[in-house]
């Protein structure tokens, strides 16, 4: 009896290779993709998306002063115990997955499309606001950039700014 299951499995596998299904899309499926990793980083070696942000702080004279750009995904320190329990790195991987999805949305968007309508943009903007609130509690404005970095083993060799968000007032 189990032989029939194995044969059935391979028949289904062959059918899936031959029959091309349409791409499934929809608003609810789109929202569920945050639970699944973006595997596009395996298809090529090259530029990698990184998120940078800066905060605007009103000084004593009432003038808006911007901080330097802060890289929101610096490499985490590796320790032996991280093999068993590593919640910070797991959270960082989920956040980087969000950045990868945002990059993918920008890359697939038609020319002239406003990225602020993307769910991934709104999630990134919310994430940036939270991080900047922790770093600069007194900030009143924020802004972020999605930069594509080309790295070698020692340093970043080239940087390309893919998108800069408009300045947003913190509420």
How confident is the model at residue 147, as a pLDDT? 92
* Cα(112)–Cα(164) distance, integer angstroms: 14
* Cα(32)–Cα(36) distance, integer angstroms: 8
* Cα(142)–Cα(166) distance, integer angstroms: 9
pTM listed for this prediction: 0.69
How confident is the model at residue 33, as a pLDDT? 60
* Cα(160)–Cα(12) distance, integer angstroms: 44
The DSSP result for the chain, as a single string, is -HHHHHHHHHHHHHHHHHSPPPPP--HHHHHHGGGS--GGGGS--S-EEEEEEEEEEE-TTS-EEEPPPEES-PPPPP-GGGGT--HHHHHHHHHHHHHHHHHHHHHHSPTT--GGGSHHHHHHHHHHHHHHHHH-TT--EEEEEEEEEEE-SSSEEEEEEEEEPPPEE--
Q: Where are the domains of the chain?
A: 2-169
Closest CA to 68 of 151, 148, 139, 126: 139
Map tokens 């349409």 to a residue: 22
How confident is the model at residue 34, as a pLDDT? 58
How confident is the model at residue 151, as a pLDDT? 74
pLDDT block averages, 10 residues each, the chain of length 171: 84 79 63 59 69 94 94 75 77 85 91 91 94 93 92 75 90 66
């Amino acid at each position: 009896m189990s032989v029939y299951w194995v044969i059935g499995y391979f028949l289904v596998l062959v059918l899936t290779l031959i029959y091309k299904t349409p791409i499934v899309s929809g608003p609810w499926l789109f929202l569920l993709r945050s639970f699944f990793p973006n595997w596009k980083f395996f298809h090529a070696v090259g530029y990698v998306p990184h998120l940078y942000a800066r905060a605007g702080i009103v000084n004593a004279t009432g003038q808006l002063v911007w901080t330097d750009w802060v890289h929101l995904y610096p490499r985490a320190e590796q320790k032996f115990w991280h093999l068993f329990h590593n919640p910070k790195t797991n959270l960082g991987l989920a956040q980087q997955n969000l950045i990868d999805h945002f990059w993918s949305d920008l890359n697939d968007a038609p020319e002239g499309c406003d990225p602020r309508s993307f769910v991934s943009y709104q999630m990134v903007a919310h994430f940036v606001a939270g991080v900047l609130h922790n770093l600069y509690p007194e900030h009143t404005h924020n802004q972020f950039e999605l930069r594509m970095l080309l790295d070698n083993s020692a340093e970043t060799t080239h940087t390309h700014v893919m998108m800069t968000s408009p300045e947003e007032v913190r509420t």
